[in-house]
Amino acid sequence: MRSLTARTPAGAPTAARSRGGRAALALLPFGVLITLFLLVPTVSLVWGSFHDSRTGAFTFVNYSYLEHPLDLVPFANSLELSLASTILGGLVGLLIAQAIVSSRRPFIQEIATTFSSVAANFAGVPLAFAFIATLGVNGLLTRTLLGAGIDLYSGGFKLYSVLGLTVVYAYWEIPLMVLVMLPPLQAMKPAWREAAEILGASRWQYLRSVAIPILMTPFISSMLLLYANAFGAYATAYALTSGFVSIVPIEISNLINGDVNYDPGLADALAIGLAVIMAVCIGGRAILERRSTRWLSR
Amino acid sequence: MSSPSITGEATEEAIAILPGVHAREKAARRTGHARRTPVWAILVLLVSAVYFLLPLYATAAFGFSTGKHFTLQPLWDGLGDDGFHTSLWLSLLYSVVTTILALAVVAPTAYLVELRFPRLRATVEFLTILPFVIPPIVLVVGLSSMYGINSPVNLIASSLAPVLLIGGYFVLTLPFTFRAVDNALRAVDVKMLSEASASLGAGPLRTFIRVIVPSISLGLVSAALLAFTTAMGEFTLAALLGYPTFPVYLLNVNGFQPRMGEALVLVSFLITWAGVIALAAVARRTPGTQVVRGGPM
Amino acid sequence: MSRLELIDINKRFGGQVAVSDFNLTVEDGELVSFLGPSGCGKTTTLRITAGFESPDTGAVMVDGVDITDLPPNKRGMGMVFQGYALFPNMTAAENVEFGLVVRNRPIAERRARIAELLELFGLAHVSTSYPHQMSGGQQQRVALARAVAIEPGVLLLDEPLSAVDAKVREELRTEIRRMVTQLGVTTILVTHDQSEALSISDRVVVMNRGAIEEVGTPAQIYAEPRSAFTAGFIGAMNEIPVRVISGALGLVERDGRRVAAPGAVGLLDGDLALLLVRPELLEPLASSVAALNGDLTMTGNVEVQTFLGATTRLLLREVRARTDDPMAMSSTRRLAVDVPSANAGRWPAGSEIAVRIPVGASRVISDRSAASRQVGTTSSYPVAPNA
């Protein structure tokens, strides 16, 4: 019997410590970038929100909108827009995601995932103009419907409005929902359904007792993501309406770019408000994610 | 706002939980066809395909015409336009640099956190989630007040101007690039690989380049895709800080020359599409793209 | 009337045959195992019995009633899935209760039944735990309790122990047997683990490539396999080539020696055949001892000793006396001999020993059944027992 030569252990303790120092150095670029372009601006935001834009004095006036947030038109509009597009995008997205999973063909799943990635990235300026070409006053769909006897615009529809934005937002909310809901749907074990069936459950009983409770968490989590995305969207809205629809992101941009309305302090405060809403959504999502992975990864 | 897409995680077997499976089985009795795609699913997928292709078609219909008949002239006008060239070139430049920077910084960082600084994980993850909470419109206010035209540190007027936008883009794409790389790292047993590599005599840098990077190539490709497409399509930062990138140009040109503008919208879409397809194909061909499940089979 | 009948079941998936001509009758209270390698059709047959797949032809009958067209949720069967399939959003108690809730049983009755079952399976202390908080063994017990809670007419177990640690597997296996006997429920167990099948079944159905190889009690399957496949699949088996001299008298010949082999009765004169002997039935002799009357011997060098616990397996490489024997042209003959580990030192590697082959008690099968053998399992090189 030949014995194997023992290998020398890799690195004495002192070598490990100096490697630790060098390794920490490798984290420096990350730290620098984060500090300069994330932390510093954030601090500046907070600082600016508590200072009067003209006098520079410490003040709470920028946050006065918090007393009656919904009285502020931008906030009411943003809320309505985000809610509507989230519900629309969420439900349709869920349906499509389930259709993809039910197709049971890996080919379809691959195509659909790619397609959704592209569609979800189509948001912004190009999307706005694509929709103008579709549902604008002279848009293709508008004219087609006119030919079929349906006059959208005389019925009160305007693309450059909260309603119009809702439709446009849905275009990328739907694929986003698909991408986020595909993994949980695919993680549903066929055996659960079969177990329920052999125990005597009907399709509806299975849905009610097993599938929906399990999927509720990832579903709500996904909706939170959609809501956050909709609330914070700027490019699509600006490109579509040239800034004439009053939603929070556009108000913020008017306050830092406008000549008459220039008020960085207020912009900071609104931005913080927006960020808080995002934080609540993302935070809620993080909590829910942890629960759903516990159930869906066994 | 350009909303970066979220890549899905590793998947398991698919299941139908809505109508059809058993009814289909009964209907298909004695023929052994229990596994075909349900009809409702096909319908839904067809309708959604139409819905998503419609705006593209409308854009083409408007952009590739003179109002009376089909022509590609607006497209040629657009492609020949100087503004188009400069803005596209600028966007490409920024996007490529952002992508390289993101990979070069995020990959080692995620690796080191996973391997040697697990206690930093919570902090790092928080930092990478933070940009998610801070959408572009919020970030741009902060960047503008710190480094913008009216601020003490006026980067925009200086020769370091590109740094501002690239830094901003790095931060914006961070949640997605980090997550893609981190997922890939965690799916592979990084600790085991690194120890095996070290026991064979490789130094940490070589281990990283020759062993780790190839085994997380799928994650790196995803991260690159996300960073690149996000940067290419990003409007908010560029517009409000005053950089004439392609999306900014697209907005302006559609105001003045609608048909040419719409034609170029299609070009923009094709760029995004090409990016997704190309990188997906590369991902499939790269050896070792299988996401390995750690632990016993 | 038998409890369960599977009649002429055939199933194809695309071009692949999954199950062919499956016929089986299971009596009330019997525990029958479907045993075979991966892809042999055992799981598909089980799923057809449960109703998750429809057979292309054939019928499933319970208590004389044709239930082939009945959906799974109306068959009143219980099933335990590989990987347990416990509902992750429910506690152990809620999982067990599910079948009763679906049947709208009154709360009092449900509570009583759950308590009774949890007690029976030793799960009372985890009744409010969720699946992700339980060990594999506990989850398996919950899955069993859930399946029997509805008092099923037939219990189906799909590789219930494959996801469980080896140590726990033996305990659980015995528990399953005990529970099945106590409840008197007709059970079908699908497994690829022969020790599992042999230790707890009333009967074993050995399957290969979609078809039934043979059916018998564990003892029959082990000691008297009827096909080469079964012989090779179950345990380790030596196959010694002989030539049939007289099928009527049961006379075979090897290396010039003729012996009586009752197992060869019925085979064709002149045919090549295989003498099947289990390693534990071969005895080493001192090499100088000549062949005793009526027995074959083989002499060989011990190549390798494999320690198996209570026994040690000696792998012999045959030393041939005659070289003009046409059968010597075949590959080198090897033989596995199991001896008590305590004695193994007497025959170290390199030593030469002779073994006596108890021809009288050995089965003989025609070598033409080689077509039904799987590659590698029944070669003359006996394989180690399945883990």
What's the CATH code of the domain at B266? 1.10.3720.10
Chain C: list its partners (3+ Cβ pairs within 8 Å): A, B
Q: Round to whole Å and give the CA distance between C315 and C175.
A: 36
Q: Round to whole Å and give the CA distance between A49 and A47.
A: 5
CATH number at residue C99: 3.40.50.300
> How many Cβ atoms from other residues are within 10 Å of residue A150's Cβ?
12
Residue B205, in any domain of the structure: yes
Contact C54 B25 (CB under 8 A): yes
Residue A136, in any domain of the structure: yes
Q: Round to whole Å and give the CA distance between C232 and B246.
A: 71
Of C75, C87, C102, the CB nearest to A192: C87
Last-in-domain residue among C176, C205, C223? C223
Cβ-contact C144, C118 below 8 angstroms = no
Last-in-domain residue among C200, C223, C246? C223
Last-in-domain residue among C153, C188, C223? C223
Residues B189 and B52 occupy one common structural domain? no
Q: How far is B193 from chain C (nearest CA, A)?
A: 27
Q: Round to whole Å and give the CA distance between A80 and A67.
A: 19
Contact B6 A179 (CB under 8 A): yes
Residue A83, in any domain of the structure: yes
Residues B98 and B39 occupy one common structural domain? no
Taking contacts as CB-CB distances below 8 angstroms, the residues of chain A near C142 are none
Q: Which domain holds residue B128?
A: 73-285
CATH number at residue A157: 1.10.3720.10
Cβ-contact A59, A52 below 8 angstroms = yes
User: Which chain B residue has its CA at the smallest distance from A270's CA?
Assistant: B138
- Residue A207 sits at the chain B interface (C-beta within 8 Å): yes
Residues C25 and C67 occupy one common structural domain? yes
User: Which chain C residue has its CA at the smallest distance from B29's CA?
Assistant: C54
**Residue B150 pLDDT:** 74
Residue A74, in any domain of the structure: yes
pLDDT in tens, C262-301: 877 878 888 888 888 888 888 888 655 555 556 788 888 8
Is a pLDDT exceeding 90 seen at residue A142?
no
Residues C307 and C265 occupy one common structural domain? yes
Cβ-contact A253, A234 below 8 angstroms = yes
Residues B152 and B86 occupy one common structural domain? yes
- Residue A214 sits at the chain C interface (C-beta within 8 Å): yes
Task: Among A278-287, C5-14, C52-61, C316-325, name the one with the lowest average pLDDT.
Answer: C316-325
Report which of residues C172 and C320 the model is more confident about: C172
Contact A282 B112 (CB under 8 A): no
Residues B39 and B183 occupy one common structural domain? no
pLDDT in tens, C94-136: 999 999 999 999 999 999 999 999 998 999 999 999 999 998 8
Is residue A201 classed exposed, middle or buried when 0-12, 13-18 and 19+ CB atoms within 10 A define those classes?
buried
**Residue A147 pLDDT:** 85
Q: Round to whole Å and give the CA distance between A23 and B205.
A: 10
Instruction: Place C325 in a pLDDT band, splitting at 50, 70 and 90.
Output: low
**What's the longest Cα–Cα distance across chain A?**
94
Residue A15, in any domain of the structure: no
Taking contacts as CB-CB distances below 8 angstroms, the residues of chain B near A172 are 3
Residues C212 and C253 occupy one common structural domain? no
C51: alpha, beta or left, given left = phi > 0 and alpha = psi -120 to 50?
left
Taking contacts as CB-CB distances below 8 angstroms, the residues of chain A near C86 are 195
Contact C89 A199 (CB under 8 A): no
Residue A217, in any domain of the structure: yes
Q: How far is C23 from chain A (nearest CA, A)?
A: 23
Torsion of CA C100, C103, C109, C111, to 10 degrees: 30
Q: Round to whole Å and give the CA distance between A223 and A83.
A: 10
**Residue C291 pLDDT:** 57
Contact B138 A274 (CB under 8 A): yes
Last-in-domain residue among B12, B40, B63? B63
Residues B59 and B77 occupy one common structural domain? no
Residues B80 and B38 occupy one common structural domain? no
User: Which chain A residue has its CA at the smallest distance from B125's CA?
Assistant: A286
Mutation to test the B interface, candidates A39, A114, A125, most B Cβ within 10 Å? A125
Residues B230 and B155 occupy one common structural domain? yes
Of C53, C69, C72, the CB nearest to B34: C53
Where are the alpha helices (H) located in chain A, listed in sequence order?
A: 13-26, 28-34, 40-49, 73-103, 106-121, 125-135, 140-147, 162-187, 190-198, 203-206, 212-231, 235-241, 248-257, 264-296
| Percent of chain C whose predicted confidence (pLDDT) is above 70 | 89
Q: Round to whole Å and give the CA distance between B63 and B258.
A: 8
Is a pLDDT exceeding 50 seen at residue C337?
yes
User: Which chain B residue has its CA at the smallest distance from C15's CA?
Assistant: B32
Residues B145 and B108 occupy one common structural domain? yes
Residue B124, in any domain of the structure: yes
Residue B192, in any domain of the structure: yes
Q: Round to whole Å and give the CA distance between A256 and A252.
A: 7
Contact C99 A197 (CB under 8 A): no
Alpha-carbon distance values, B65 to B53, B74, B231 (Å): 18, 7, 30
Q: Round to whole Å and give the CA distance between B76 and B72.
A: 7
- Residue A134 sits at the chain B interface (C-beta within 8 Å): yes
Is a pLDDT exceeding 90 seen at residue A82?
yes
**Residue A8 pLDDT:** 45
**Residue C117 pLDDT:** 93
pLDDT in tens, C136-166: 889 999 999 999 999 999 999 999 988 788 8
Residues C34 and C122 occupy one common structural domain? yes
Q: Which domain holds residue C346?
A: 228-372
Residues C75 and C160 occupy one common structural domain? yes
According to DSSP, residue C81 is labeled B
Half-sphere exposure of C109 (CA within 13 A, CB side): 10
Taking contacts as CB-CB distances below 8 angstroms, the residues of chain A near C87 are 192, 195-196, 209-210, 214
Chain B: list its partners (3+ Cβ pairs within 8 Å): A, C
Residues B150 and B237 occupy one common structural domain? yes
pLDDT in tens, C198-249: 999 999 999 999 999 999 999 999 888 888 788 888 888 888 888 888 888 8
Interface of B with A in 168-207 (CB under 8 A): 168, 170-171, 174, 195, 198-199, 204
Residue B51, in any domain of the structure: yes
Residues C214 and C233 occupy one common structural domain? no
Q: Round to whole Å and give the CA distance between C118 and C257.
A: 64
Place of tokens 């590609």: B72
Q: Round to whole Å and give the CA distance between C320 and C256.
A: 12
Q: Round to whole Å and give the CA distance between B152 and B155.
A: 9
Please state the rounded mean pLDDT for residues A83-87.
95
Residue B177, in any domain of the structure: yes
**Residue C36 pLDDT:** 92
- Would you state the structure tokens that stand for residue C28, as one six-digit string? 């009330």
Report which of residues C320 and A161 the model is more confident about: A161
**Residue C322 pLDDT:** 54
Residues C124 and C37 occupy one common structural domain? yes
Residues 6+ apart with CB under 8 A from B27: none
Residues C140 and C74 occupy one common structural domain? yes
Q: What is the DSSP string of B242-292?
A: T---HHHHHHHHHHH-HHHHHHHHHHHHHHHHHHHHHHHHHHHHSTT-S-P
Backbone angles phi, psi at B170, to 5 degrees: -55, -45
Cβ-contact A263, A51 below 8 angstroms = no
Task: Among A15-19, A229-233, B67-71, C296-300, name the one with the lowest average pLDDT.
Answer: A15-19
Residues B58 and B108 occupy one common structural domain? no
CATH number at residue C360: 2.40.50.100
C153: alpha, beta or left, given left = phi > 0 and alpha = psi -120 to 50?
alpha
Q: Which domain holds residue A169?
A: 61-296
- Would you state the structure tokens that stand for residue A79, as one six-digit string? 């809320």
Q: Round to whole Å and give the CA distance between C357 and C278.
A: 10
Residues C195 and C258 occupy one common structural domain? no
Cβ-contact C281, C302 below 8 angstroms = no
Residue A154, in any domain of the structure: yes
Residues B78 and B150 occupy one common structural domain? yes
Backbone angles phi, psi at C286, to 5 degrees: -65, 135
Which residue type is seen at A201? A
Place of tokens 């069967």: C77
Please state the rounded mean pLDDT for residues C20-47.
94
Backbone angles phi, psi at B67, to 5 degrees: 100, -25
Residues B55 and B77 occupy one common structural domain? no
Q: Total structural domains in chain B?
A: 2
Contact A294 C88 (CB under 8 A): yes
**Residue B7 pLDDT:** 30
Residues C116 and C208 occupy one common structural domain? yes
Taking contacts as CB-CB distances below 8 angstroms, the residues of chain B near C53 are 25, 34
> How many Cβ atoms from other residues are within 10 Å of residue A20's Cβ?
12
pLDDT tens, N- to C-terminus, chain B (297 residues): 333 333 322 222 222 222 333 333 343 333 333 457 788 898 999 999 999 899 989 998 888 887 777 888 888 888 888 888 999 999 999 999 999 999 999 999 998 888 888 888 888 988 888 888 888 999 999 998 888 877 777 777 777 788 999 999 999 999 888 988 888 888 888 888 888 888 888 887 888 888 888 888 878 887 888 788 889 889 999 999 889 999 999 999 888 888 888 889 888 888 878 877 776 665 555 432 222 222 121
Interface of C with B (CB under 8 A): 11-14, 53-57, 69, 71-72
Residue C385, in any domain of the structure: no
Residues C197 and C249 occupy one common structural domain? no
Q: Total structural domains in chain A?
A: 1
**Where do the DSSP E strands lie in chain C?**
4-13, 16-26, 31-35, 57-62, 65-66, 77-80, 154-158, 186-191, 203-208, 211-216, 238-246, 251-254, 257-260, 272-277, 283-285, 296-307, 311-318, 334-340, 352-357, 363-366
Nearest to A62 by CA among A277, A265, A272, A273: A265
pLDDT in tens, A189-201: 999 999 999 999 9
Residue A12, in any domain of the structure: no
Contact A96 B45 (CB under 8 A): yes
Residues C195 and C310 occupy one common structural domain? no
- Would you state the structure tokens that stand for residue A92, as one six-digit string? 């349709």
Q: Round to whole Å and give the CA distance between A242 and C176.
A: 72
- Would you state the structure tokens that stand for residue C9, as one six-digit string? 């079941």
Residue A31, in any domain of the structure: no
Helices A248-257 and B136-147, packing angle to 10 deg: 20
Q: How far is A98 from chain C (nearest CA, A)?
A: 20
